[in-house]
Amino acid sequence: MTALALGAILALALISCKGGAADENRSPGESVYRSRCQTCHALPKPVKMSDADWPAFIHDHAERAKLSAEQIDQVLTYLISSN
């Protein structure tokens, strides 16, 4: 087995182990934010931007993250409510 294949298997195992009670307590917006946005970069803390700044930032990144309109709304609701 190659190192790359072993790394992929370990990554999948870690992802599946991260589930559980903590995931159940997350809002839909937080779940989308964590699962889609951190695949490209570290997650900015909700307080990093003002409530007025988040919509433009999310809309700029939504296509690359392949977010639906519903997911955009969920993420914005999470970020603004956590700000």
Give the per-residue pLDDT at 16: 47
The pLDDT assigned to 17 comes to 46
Full 3-state SS string of the chain = CCHHHHHHHHHHHHHHHCCCHHHHCCCHHHHHHHHHHCCCCCCCCHHHCCCCCHHHHHHHHHCCCCCCHHHHHHHHHHHHHCC
Predicted pLDDT at 30: 94
- Domain ranges in the chain are 23-81
Q: What is the pLDDT of residue 70?
A: 97
Instruction: Identify the CATH number of the domain defined by range 23-81.
Output: 1.10.760
Low-confidence ranges of the chain (pLDDT < 50): 6, 12-20
- In whole angstroms, what is the distance from residue 49 CA to residue 80 CA? 9
Quick one: pLDDT at residue 7? 52
pLDDT score of 63? 92
- 32-50 pLDDT tens trace: 999 998 888 898 889 999 9
